[in-house]
Structure 1
Amino acid sequence: MNHSAKDPHMSAPPGYILGVDLGTSHTVAVIRWPDGRSRPLLVDGAPVMPSAVFVDEAGHTHVGRDAQRLAQIDPSRFEPNPKHRIGEGSILLGDRDVPAVALLAAVLRNVAAKAVESVGQLPPAVLTYPAKWGATRRNILQDAAAQAGFPPVKMVPEPVAAAHYFAEVMRQPIPVGASVAVFDFGGGTLDIAVVRHESENEFVVLADGGLDDLGGLDVDEVLLNHLGQTIDAHAPQIWKQLTNPQSPTERRNRRLFWDDVRGAKEMLSRTTVAPVPVPSVDTALHLTRDELERLASPLLERAIEETRRVIAASGQEPDALAGLFLVGGASRMPLVARLLHTRLGIAPTVLEQPELPVAEGSLAAVGGMRSDSTGEQPSAVTPPPGIAPVVTPPSEAAAPVTGPPSPVSGPPESAYPVSGAATPQYSTGTGQVSSPPDPGYPVSGAPTPQYPIGSGQVSGPPYQSSPPQEFASVASVSGPPRSPHATADGTGRYASVSSGRSDSFGRDDSDEDASWYRKRSNWIGAAVILVVLVLGIGWLVYDPYPQRDMTPLAQVGEDVPFPENASILGPGTIGDRAFFAADDGTNLTVTAIDMATGSALWETDPMERTRASWDIFHSAFEMVLIGELGTDDIALTILDWETGEQTGELTIGGTDSVDIIGELLVVSSPDDDKVTAYDATGEQQWTLSIADMEWIGAAVPWDYFVADLGAFDDADSIFFYAKDSEGTVSVIDLDRGEVSATKKVLTETSQMTAFDGKLYVTDGADGYTVTVYDMANELADLGTVRAASTGVVPRELGVCGETRVCVFEDRTVDSDTMTGFSVIDTGGENPEVAWSSPEDESLGWAEPVGDRLAVNYADDTDTTFTQLYDEDFEKIGSAEEGRFNRIDSGSMLRFPWSGDTELSAGPVAFVGLGADDGSVYQLGSQEVIPQCAATATYLTCPVETGYRTWKFRE
């Protein structure tokens, strides 16, 4: 049990030293340079390399991201977690039995090659291992290092390395004789140890333990099974293929789905909602942090009990420990630290990049921070992770580089773009950035995957609608989300004015022979009547929601370059301006594009990153908002949309949400039960307390849903409201910072949405009613309608038209579960059911396009289609493949927004759709980075050479 870091042969050699932490899911290496500074070793531009191995048909091994890419072709030849299988002897990959030691050697060989590229030689190396490993497994790891070409390596227990990092790199005091607990939650296992500071530069493991059957992969599995319940209900054939693949394509899809589930879990450490694409389906499911924590809690309770057991085995009491140190990628889940703190009474220390401390701590363990021949301690101590990575010198370099490395930046893995169309449901990171509802989202679930929002949920009226998802029922946020799901207006396409016929029109009834127009009185009367008639006829033919033709994409201006190797966040739009942010790994640059000319209007000076990541980027009204995520807070920077000048800055809590409403930045703090408004300079305007507040919402008017994208700016017409844990809704006066109305209207099964000054609430879980409340009149009851009897469960509400909402339903029909919706019309004296979709059709999302309705559904092959309906719910034209976004009151556009930072694999087809008659406009194809935004006239996307703008209307 006494694993000590002190080895009589462990002296710090001069020159370079390499520390390697070969983990279950990822491998991290750190090089210490001769001057004492340490740098992560970059592999494929990132400091964290997947520990994955792929063996091709010729027997060649590929590791890291290359292995992951090749696995998409033949998953049977892929092993994502070789360390987890170290005790199996050999592993069947394709048609080959490969020794486990050879897989580990392949990973280490790649690390060795990258180290040689960086410093011109393979430095002496230190390898870490789990404290509970016996001699057999340690010997396998040493054999793997030898096969990889390493000279004899030093071995350090992982918790000892972590303790050295904690004490010497982070400068956290651990008095001699005191102990710390190390909670290492990796991909495949949980390792726990209590480490005592025995003497100077010597730590001893007093007790160790853990769970071999608990790691991040196990959390992935419960999430996958949870999502599978919804896939099985809606697309059982797809789920069968994912769980029991029979072909290479199906096996590849299974691997991709696992990867996407894991990616969503990791994203939820920064955000509160994350998309999960489903293979063979043109849409995605959603996971929320609430779901993750509910599903992961039983697993983590086991981890807490094991931690308590190991601490007790060390003879320590939790409150006597000098600290609790969290390492390993899975420890990034906020629930981990929260449960440990709650159950054990110790405030854990967790870093922004918990994968790195073990590797760097191993270097400290073999000789403090010394690396020069004199053994003197350098004056500079390596900061916590976030440091600049190692540069890769030219391949012909034959000697070690003598100076410190220059930083090399690759696309940061944590850069999740934020669209200007972001809506409040996009919980983002530890904070939320919200906006008034977007017309394309289902309301009671988190919205579509198209707009991942970084770590805070940004707001302001979304200027770009996003395609919704077929599987909206998967998402369950805490309280109904704030973005209405849209459908169509049913008030009638044309308003008619009847004009009476005048007696003096045509023939004069007097006895005079003079023509009627010669009499002044008759002339005046006829003129008046003619005007009325013209106006009446004009009104009869006036279309308030016109369909406008589109033309093939025509590039506007030249591409606007962005920094090399940068991750693009955005775009957002205000009017005909688009705003992009580019993160090169160290600095962020924001650029404003004039879409009318395609040129840059302004560009900010590079803003240095001082925290974990740039995770908020949003534009609305007259603000461009940037948010930088820290450990437990978010730093916001406010830019003027016209000049790019910084107007203010503000620090908010890590779980706060932000709404941009006109000239106000409204910060909601559920943890503190407060809502606070700031102006564009960051100066507080008012603060308001709402007991047990769970979430905040914004209700935009109908004008928003018919305005051209980027054109809505009527902040005064937006209602703001909050919900508490008891089901009470409070309407907030944003001008005065006061509650103008409050009423308990929700039950445990209620769904709700609000728009145009009305609040819509369902009651009942199996069969339901809809009640409407007046937000401008103390939430007065405007009437109730019974929408459905038994066998129907409401799952979300959304905007359908000027006086209509859709209630999206799960329906039981002949023992099958179908999806559909009912349209509730509130335009008359009492609410009434205007239409229910056919029971034999499973329909997905719907959004209004003027007084038309665009409805999405999937066919038997899970291909997504969009079908238009008129105001009387009759089909318009034929269904068109794909998801289309509303761009004005009469037209839609199909364009990509996935958040990917790489160029599309091939040309992407852009297609327009007219809502009046279903006309289809083929606009052309382009290779783009799929982070596009559109207005009613322009389209903008990043391409390989910069930001590019096209025009598709005259």
Structure 2
Amino acid sequence: MPADYLLSVDLGTSHTVAVVVWPDGRTRPLLFDGSPVMPSAVFLDPAGTLHTGKDAERLALTAPERFEPNPKQRISDRTILLGDREIPVTAAFAAILSRVARAAIESVGHLPNAVLTCPAAWSEQRRAALHDAAAQAGYRPVQILTEPVAAAHYYTSRLSHRVAPGQPLAVFDFGGGTLDIAVLERRPDGSFGVLADGGLPDLGGLDFDAALVAHIGETVRQREPEIWKRLEQPSGASELRNRRELWEEVRGAKEMLSRSSVAPVTVPDMAQSLHLTRGELDQISRPLLSRAVGETQRVLALTGRRPEQLAGLFLVGGSSRMPMVAKMLHEGLGIAPTVLEQPELPVSEGAALALTSAAPVTPPAPMPSSPPQLTAPSLGLPPVTPGSDQTIPLRRGGDDKAPEPPRRGTEYKARRIPPKWIAIGVAAVVLVAAAAVGVWWFTNPYKQRPFAEELREVGAAQALDGEVDDGIYEVRSVGDRSAMFYTTSSSDPSGQELHVRAVDNRSGELLWDAEQVLPGDGWNPVFFVSEELIAFSQEVEAGAEYKFVFLDWETGRVRNTVTSWARDAARSGDLLVIGPVGGDAFEVYDAAGEQQSSWAFDEGVTVANWNLVGTPDDIASPTARANGDGRLWAVTSNGVTHVYDLESGEAVSSKEIETVEDLYYAWDGLLYVAVDKETGYDLNVYDVEDLSQVQSIEIQSGEVPPEAVTVCGETLVCVGDLVPETTNAYHWHVYDADAKEIAHDFDDREYGWIEPLGNRIMAEYYAGDDVRTQLYDQDFETVNNNLEVTFDPIDGGSALTWPARSTFGTAVGNVIGLGRDGSRADLRIDLEVYACAATDSRLACLTPAGSQIYSFRDE
């Protein structure tokens, strides 16, 4: 089957657009009922079939209660009530994507690899809903690209507008449900990085429609009060149908006013039509658009740039076609925006252009049965679980010096040894060996411990205080305690209530339950938990300052609150690293929220890449969450690499070694840098202490660039490049830091993510559309297993899978244990949870019944 086509889908609030890229580089939009713009609407018929697009709109006239015009706007609700049935939001997404897939197959003969777009501010949980929906619709694992980056590629590639490296571009995405604003910067390699983003989640085309309906309603109420009463408060199917027809009339009039000065509006049951004028539309729109202009000015101010420094202001999204939008933005910013006749199209085509251009786009690593993952494209780092304690998982690179090989050619003079002494010697060797085996068994960090026959409840479920609302729920387990986070609805419309509780893993008892009121909803905080530290980040308001709240592990009370302009943070042991603050500084805090150290770079020098230096302890005890050896590396905009000690804030080393665009990875005293070349790439290895080069090794990959670097064993680092014509399948090259050579190539299959399970390797690979798990021993031979689920390591000798937190609301799945010898233990079937986290013997979960601790082996 051909694999050189690409499908790009922009599933918007009101409309869906899809583009196919042909092998010769041509792009063509798919047509739905003769139009490139398909309504993002669904209708559930009595037989249980979901209809989409215009078919759904036509069927809605027969049974409005079975119709949802904007399922994307319902993503926080997790489910949609259609008639007498409740369906997951992901099912609605899957129906739309299935319609797109059928059109693609009709167009090119098969379903190509696909890229989907989403707002820049979407959490990984919301992005996971797209991944889930695409899988349900029969897609291979998809790439997700943010909408402003896609729009920026359209602006430079298709419209041929020049954006110089370092120059900012603003994207104003005005859709049916929300306004999303981003300021991006062009990088030297042609890609785009987001400098600042924001928007208004409560302002979109639907809000203009509502304002226009209210305006029309004033006239109808005066002339025909009974008609308006039925339209405003419909009580039956016929009245619901009339209400929908009115909204469609108003929406059509609004779009017509983009081209003319007056538009008719037919009100159901009224004998005479009304009309709207361009002047009325402008008058109604001005207060709404004033908010949009103010938000644009605020987001731009976050970057420190002035409007005249922008390379352009690009308007996308269907609501951008209203003439008043461009007019007020021009008045407010002093620059003329760029807007197209069909502003719904650029995001979809721009995503396709981004993936087919030379600009690097890093795909996410799919984890179907473990929490969804995200990547750090600008850093060249492996995925990290959303909301997890650090920015990347860590990987070891080996000792500073490889051991010397055994000497060869040494001559020994043979002499005969009496049999008695041979026997005594053999016995001694056996005793010594036995003793050594005993010591090794008790000290071996990778021994395999048996699982229980089934998952057992530890204590009774502790009921949740309130009903979980829109999907902010996380669990962190460390040692004998678990921290659980979930939100419930607030009586204050400006916020939510974040509940934080501590549970004893040994007894299942609730230690304490604290409530934090959060200003605003729709965002996803990040949680940091260790033996001493329990903290979370909180956005004060969209795009503004961030608060880092430190709690007391013993009481749940707030110990300290730190305000910062930096949204990124990572945990190393019991320390929290926040940065880069202001783009050029780092701050380090202890578990009490007291600052331990800080440092800043020279004026005008900003941080391009950064992360922690990993430690081998993360392999032997992955759930202990050591997260680093106490040092941080950073690459600054002037091309200098720095290493800092976190406790003292002192520089360990600083040196110009590679460029900021390369892939960096630090592990166990070594820094690895993957440098793209014309016919492959180099893996350069440096000593963290002084950044002196240890080795450079060439990896042959043709013209395929490196995409990821991660740990895959105590002395093994895996470097991955994408399989040609795919978006998230890798070939992995295993570098042995002791032998200083490429020890193995995983290139016989299309592999997903790869990681160590003790001193063995656990790799995902694709079998058709399925993702499976295979273990490999130290000789890279397969261990006797081939599992159709993926796992997370829980100690040096075993792994566990549990229901994925990848949908809104609860998830149902199996709990399965995996030994490093490939043995499988089925512990529980169809466990329903919100979220879980594991130690090496306990699984802590938020369930519909409350917080529950489960045991799968003796402590």
Which AA in structure 1 matches 2:580?
S
Whether the 8 Å CA contact 1:749–1:764 is kept in 2: the answer is no
Secondary structure of the structure 1 residue equivalent to 2:150: helix
Query: Does the residue aligned with 1:550 lie in a helix, a strand or coil?
Result: coil
Rg larger in 1 or in 2?
A: 1
Structure 1 match to 2:436: 536
1:354, CA displacement in angstroms?
A: 2.6
TM-superposed CA distance for 1:571, in Å, is: 0.8
Please, which of 520, 541, 566 is the counterpart of residue 611 of structure 1? 520
Tell me which residue corresponds to 2:743: 834
CA distance in 1, matches of 2:807, 2:773: 24
Q: Which runs of 5+ in 2 are unaligned?
A: 1-12, 17-38, 71-92, 162-170, 187-195, 219-301, 304-359, 383-390, 403-416, 491-496
When normalised by structure 1's length, the TM-score is 0.54
Query: Displacement of 1:338 after TM fit?
Result: 10
Letter paired with 1:584? T
Displacement of 1:553: 0.5
Aligned 1:170-569 pairs, distance under 5 A: 243-244=104-105, 261=116, 267=122, 276-277=131-132, 278-279=134-135, 284-287=141-144, 289=146, 292-297=147-152, 332-335=179-182, 350-355=199-204, 358=208, 445=362, 448=365, 476-477=377-378, 479-480=380-381, 483-484=392-393, 534-538=434-438, 543-551=444-452, 552-567=454-469, 568-569=472-473
Q: Which residue of 2 aligns with 1:661?
A: 572
Q: Distance in 2 between matches of 1:643 and 1:288?
A: 42
Which residue of 830, 842, 853 maps to 2:761? 853
Partner of 1:692 in structure 2?
606
Q: Is 1:885 equivalent to 2:797 in the alignment?
A: no
Q: Deviations over 1:742-769 (max 9, x none)?
A: 2233347632311112111122343222
Answer whether contact 2:116 2:142 (CA < 8 A) is retained: no
| Cα pair distance change 1:351/1:294, threshold 3 Å | closer
CA distance in 2, matches of 1:912, 1:854: 14
The CA distance in 2 between the partners of 1:747 and 1:687, in whole Å, is 25
Structure 1 Cα separation of the partners of residues 175 and 522 of structure 2 = 18
Question: How many Å separate the matches in 1 of 2:730 and 2:172?
Answer: 47
CA distance in 2, matches of 1:870, 1:109: 53
Any idea what the Cα deviations from partners look like across 1:651-671, whole Å, max 9, x if unmatched? 222x53112233432211365
TM-score by length of 2: 0.59
Q: Please, what is the CA RMSD of the aligned residues?
A: 5.4
* SS, match of residue 835 in structure 2: coil
Determine the structure 1 residue equivalent to 2:815. Answer: 910
Alignment partner, residue 502 of structure 2: 592
Distance 2:198 2:379 in 1: 27
Asked if the contact 2:119–2:148 (Cα under 8 Å) also holds between the matched residues in 1, the reply is no
> Residue 807 of structure 1: CA displacement?
1.1
Report what 1:672 is aligned to.
583
Cα distance in 1 for partners of 2:201, 2:608 equals 27
Partner of 2:281: none
Counterpart Cα distance in 2 of 1:348 and 1:553? 44
Q: What is aligned with 2:711?
A: 799
Q: Could you report, residue by residue, the CA deviation over 1:339-384 in whole angstroms, capped at 9, with x for unpaired residues?
A: 9xxxxxxx9995453359658877998999xxxxxxxxxxxxxxxx
Change beyond 3 A, Cα 1:876–1:527: closer
Deviation at 1:722, TM superposition (A): 0.9
Tell me the distance in 2 between the aligned counterparts of 1:238 and 1:98. Answer: 16
Name the residue aligned to 2:331.
Answer: none
Retained in 2: the 8 A contact 1:903–1:929?
A: yes
Deviations 1:486-518 (A, max 9, x none): 6999999xxxxxxxxxxx999899xxxxxx9xx
Asked if structure 2 preserves the Cα contact closer than 8 Å seen for 1:767 and 1:789, the reply is: yes
CA pair 101-721 structure 1, distance change in 2 beyond 3 A: same
**Aligned counterpart, 2:560:** 648
Match of 2:833 in 1: 929
CA contact (8 A) 1:580 1:590 kept: yes
Task: Output aligned runs, 1:627-776, within 5 Å.
Answer: 627-629=537-539, 630-631=541-542, 632-653=544-565, 656-669=567-580, 671-690=582-601, 691-709=605-623, 711-713=624-626, 717-747=629-659, 750-765=662-677, 766-775=679-688
2:849 is the counterpart of 1:945: yes
Q: Distance in 2 between matches of 1:781 and 1:865?
A: 38
Residues 1:844 and 2:699 are matched in the alignment: no
Deviation at 1:563, TM superposition (A): 3.2
Structure 2 match to 1:875 = 782
Deviations 1:286-311 (A, max 9, x none): 5355xx432112567999999xxxxx
Give 2:732's aligned residue.
Answer: 821
Residue 660 of structure 1 aligns to a residue in which SS?
strand
Consecutive unaligned residues of structure 1, counting only runs of 5 or more, are 1-22, 27-49, 59-69, 80-90, 111-219, 229-236, 307-323, 340-346, 369-429, 432-442, 452-464, 493-503, 510-515, 517-524
Corresponding residue SS for 1:932:
strand
Q: Give the C-alpha shift of residue 866 in structure 1.
A: 0.7
Residue number in structure 2 paired with 1:78: 52
Q: Report the identity percentage.
A: 26
Is contact 1:550-1:953 (8 Å) kept? yes
Going from structure 1 to structure 2, the CA distance change for 1:241 and 1:265 (only over 3 Å counts) comes to: farther
List per-residue Cα deviations over 1:844-865 (Å, max 9, x = no partner): 22111111111111113x1111
CA deviation string 1:578-602 (max 9, x = no partner): 2211211321111112122122111
Aligned in 2, Cα 1:640/1:819: closer, same or farther, shift over 3 Å?
same
After superposing the two structures, state which structure 1 stretch, 642-651 or 621-630, moved more: 621-630
1:602 matched residue in structure 2: 512
**C-alpha contact (below 8 Å) 1:824/1:833 kept by paired residues:** yes
> What is the alpha-carbon distance in structure 2 between the residues aligned to residue 796 and residue 768 of structure 1?
12
- Letter aligned with residue 876 of structure 1: V
Contact 1:719/1:757 (8 A) holds in 2: no
CA distance 1:796–1:468, change in 2 (3 Å): farther
Structure 2 SS opposite 1:638: strand
1-structure distance, mates of 2:773, 2:198: 49
TM-aligned CA distance change 1:328 to 1:301, over 3 Å: farther
Provide closer, same or farther for how the CA distance between residues 284 and 618 of structure 1 changes in structure 2, counting only shifts above 3 A.
farther
Deviation at residue 737 of structure 1 after TM alignment: 1.6
Letter of the structure 1 residue corresponding to residue 749 of structure 2:
E
Partners of 1:888 and 1:642 in 2: how far apart?
26
Distance 2:785 2:771 in 1: 13
Q: How many residues align?
A: 600
- The Cα shift of 1:684 comes to 3.7
> Deviation at 1:824?
0.5
Give 1:56's aligned residue.
45
Partner of 1:495: none
- Secondary structure of residue in 2 paired with 1:881: coil
Higher strand share: 2
Counterpart code for 2:742: V
CA–CA separation in structure 1 for the residues paired with 2:555 and 2:612: 28
Deviation by residue 1:641-700 (Cα, 9 ceiling, x = unmatched): 2321211112222x5311223343221136532212234444444432232212320122
Query: Secondary structure of 1:243's partner?
Result: helix
Cα distance in 1 for residues equivalent to 2:61 and 2:182: 35
How far 1:640 sits from its partner (Å)?
A: 1.9
1:669–1:367 CA distance, 2 compared to 1 (3 A): farther
Please tell me whether the aligned partners of residues 791 and 812 of structure 1 are also in contact (alpha carbons under 8 angstroms): no
Shift in Å, 1:569: 1.2
The equivalent of 2:294 in structure 1 is: none
Deviations 1:792-836 (A, max 9, x none): 5322111011111011123569x99984211111114xx211111
- Report if aligned partners of 1:801, 1:851 keep a CA contact under 8 Å in 2: yes
Residue number among 75, 98, 107 corresponding to 2:58 in the alignment: 98
How much does 1:871 deviate? 0.4
